[in-house]
Chain A
């Protein structure tokens, strides 16, 4: 139909007419009776999206240009908060900490999660029990986990140090040193998360068609080659999903920091969200905290977009 129209030479005024009638048609079609019900169906989701997502982001953006302590009337300061952020050593530190945390967290989640999935993908008796066991940290509240791990990490009578000394290794400093606190938090975070991501990998592994492995075997591929050339490409969409989701999750790390370290010692476990929280709810710097939120949001957007384009090279759909 469209091809027809474009191939015919209309006079100029006719073309304009055709366009307006086209537009009218689109509009009337958009609001036709059948489409109206469609609108109604997406309306609830749309309202939720606007109320809880688009509006708050816009409002935060607006707040980030104000100086406001929630008590006195706000004053407009322009981009001052962003400038302060750029010159702030604490912000740089929190950015670095968040980056390090995210980097090791995501790598850990993908590598360990995948290895665990391969492990529990065996047809063994009672394998379901092990799957459940590995998954269970995910459903335990993070606050409870944090409290348990704090006692594991305790310097004087923690279980970890007791284990280390019993086999003749030097004691770790864990949460009690700027050098090791972030690593200790990552270890705990991974312990909680890998079981959850394992389930995704497990589902992906089980969806790989068996006949392709058979074909591979006929071609004389060894196990490693089969993993590298069949399994990995097949589960790459899930891997991509896991990378994105775990990046977002790592960026939003907060609860365990609030419970275990409050960003210390000397800011060495200060992450972006905790930095934001501190300024918003301890010092009432709402404008400044909003600027941090916007930076956090933009970096997540950039990460996701970059990931999306890189993923075209390695994700096979």
Chain B
């Protein structure tokens, strides 16, 4: 009997040894002279993913000593989760795509490599980059990323609908115009819905700013419930509940509600939607027109920047960091960012690229609107908890106004209370 027992113990030890030997394989870092292989974690699906693949292939062909391997993760929150876990296990990818608020979170906890040294060494001209993009990738005066896919909110409209109803699209430069046109179109039976907002908290920053409300970068001063913000949000609520010419999509996995909203305007079910410049890549410019985010009377246009920056975790080895930097630098080279912008609708991130694209903009007026808007772009509030405030406080206020018909003033008061709780 005892013999059996010993055999059992030996066997289990062998199994344990075997299992512990099967740890996760890390980015194989290499001896000098060999290829450095790095992983790039991204969430670009559909035609965005295809375009990214093309650029990465080109990069790999041009660089003998670097191989960038694309790792697709479902969406931005998934990237955040996985990165968190990776940082725990100290087994990190060398390059990750992060949204502005999450970049702030990881940078402030000291897990990201500051790029200042590398930027200096490579003599990269940061002045050529669009200022607001660089600002949103910095924390405490240091750069932690270079812009990858950047966007601003924009208003799309169905040209056919407007043409048939004989409405001049210039009418929708203001929110008042959007409301009037929506009512007119629904009354005429031209569409089921005049205007559809996307229930994504990022748009709140844009909407509030379009009525002159400013959201502070200082967490102590954050004010979600200003009368200007309430008035702006109430307009969207009124169009849904009073005028009944508007609706929101929600639910579904990942970006489903976003694409449902966009589909309504391309299918002619709705006349106008708020979207991102990055939706342009999947739209037919002949049928769908673009306008800058509308404003309230007398207010200046001011839109938040969206999208991500490429960041490098501190735990990656030095040569991997160098390779990752090489890639994001390549990605923002004028030719590459131009190619990326043309294929996807994301914005070119460098002034020199924008200048080169003049003739393209003439032929594609929607892109021109997007780039024009860039002059009025500013990052969303930049501090680590902004992510949670957007998801918990603002998203709930959106629900209350859009679904439950709660007055915007009350909903935003609740949101402000919630935000203060989160920040404490």
User: Which of A40, A90, A266 touches B5 (beta carbons < 8 Å)?
Assistant: A40
> B80 contacts which chain A residues (CB < 8 A)?
282
Q: Are the C-beta atoms of B84 and A267 separated by less than 8 Å?
A: no
Instruction: Tell whether A262 is near chain B: CB-to-CB under 8 Å.
Output: yes
Report A18-43 CB contacts with B as 1/0, cut-off 8 Å: 00000000000000010011001000
Report B127-138 CB contacts with A as 1/0, cut-off 8 Å: 000000000000
Known: A150-B251, A175-B251. A37 touches B399 (CB 8 A): no
Instruction: Tell whether B282 is near chain A: CB-to-CB under 8 Å.
Output: no
Q: Which residues, 43 to 72 on A, are CB-close (under 8 Å) to B?
A: 69-72
Q: How far is the CB of A129 from the nearest CB of chain B, in Å?
A: 33
Known: A37-B1, A262-B251. A176 touches B403 (CB 8 A): yes
Please count how many residues in chain B sit with their CB below 8 Å of the partner chain's CB atoms.
33
Report A253-272 CB contacts with B as 1/0, cut-off 8 Å: 00000111110111100000
Q: How far is the CB of B247 from the nearest CB of chain A, in Å?
A: 8
Q: Which residues, 368 to 420 on B, are CB-close (under 8 Å) to A?
A: 387-388, 391-392, 395-396, 399-400, 402-404
Q: Are the C-beta atoms of A150 and B88 separated by less than 8 Å?
A: no
> A4 contacts which chain B residues (CB < 8 A)?
none
Q: Are the C-beta atoms of B404 and A71 separated by less than 8 Å?
A: no
- Docked complex Cα distance between A265 and B392 (Å): 12
- Docked complex Cα distance between A175 and B105 (Å): 33
- Docked complex Cα distance between A177 and B109 (Å): 39
Instruction: Tell whether A2 is near chain B: CB-to-CB under 8 Å.
Output: no
Q: Closest residue of chain B to A177, judged by CB?
A: B403
Q: Are the C-beta atoms of A284 and B252 separated by less than 8 Å?
A: no
Report B231-268 CB contacts with A as 1/0, cut-off 8 Å: 00000000000000000001111000000000000000
Q: How far is the CB of B361 from the nearest CB of chain A, in Å?
A: 36
Instruction: Tell whether A309 is near chain B: CB-to-CB under 8 Å.
Output: no
Q: Are the C-beta atoms of B251 and A267 separated by less than 8 Å?
A: no
- Docked complex Cα distance between A166 and B404 (Å): 27
Q: Are the C-beta atoms of B404 and A70 separated by less than 8 Å?
A: no
Q: Are the C-beta atoms of B399 and A259 separated by less than 8 Å?
A: no
User: Which of A36, A71, A259, A267 touches B87 (beta carbons < 8 Å)?
Assistant: A71
Q: How far is the CB of A178 from the nearest CB of chain B, in Å?
A: 5
Q: Closest residue of chain B to A264, judged by CB?
A: B399
Q: How far is the CB of A210 from the nearest CB of chain B, in Å?
A: 49
- Docked complex Cα distance between A70 and B8 (Å): 38
Instruction: Tell whether B359 is near chain A: CB-to-CB under 8 Å.
Output: no
- Docked complex Cα distance between A69 and B102 (Å): 13
Q: Are the C-beta atoms of B192 and A156 separated by less than 8 Å?
A: yes
Q: Are the C-beta atoms of A178 and B252 separated by less than 8 Å?
A: no
- Docked complex Cα distance between A8 and B274 (Å): 93
Name, among B85, B109, B399, B403, the residue most crowded by chain A CB atoms within 10 Å (CB to CB).
Answer: B403
Q: Are the C-beta atoms of A259 and B88 separated by less than 8 Å?
A: no
Instruction: Tell whether A283 is near chain B: CB-to-CB under 8 Å.
Output: yes
> B399 contacts which chain A residues (CB < 8 A)?
178, 264-267
Q: Are the C-beta atoms of B387 and A69 separated by less than 8 Å?
A: no
Q: How far is the CB of A282 from the nearest CB of chain B, in Å?
A: 6
> B111 contacts which chain A residues (CB < 8 A)?
71
Known: A71-B106, A71-B109, A284-B84. A266 touches B252 (CB 8 A): no
Which 4 residue pairs spanning A and B have beta carbons closest together?
A: A266-B399, A71-B109, A265-B403, A265-B399
Would you give 30 A-B contacts (Cβ < 8 Å), ordered by A? A36-B1, A36-B2, A37-B1, A70-B85, A71-B106, A72-B110, A90-B392, A147-B253, A150-B252, A177-B403, A178-B404, A259-B252, A260-B251, A261-B250, A264-B250, A265-B399, A265-B402, A266-B396, A266-B399, A266-B400, A266-B404, A267-B399, A281-B77, A281-B81, A282-B77, A282-B80, A282-B387, A282-B388, A282-B391, A283-B391
B residues adjacent to A (C-beta < 8 A): 1-2, 4-5, 8, 77, 80-81, 84-85, 87-88, 105-106, 109-111, 192, 250-253, 387-388, 391-392, 395-396, 399-400, 402-404
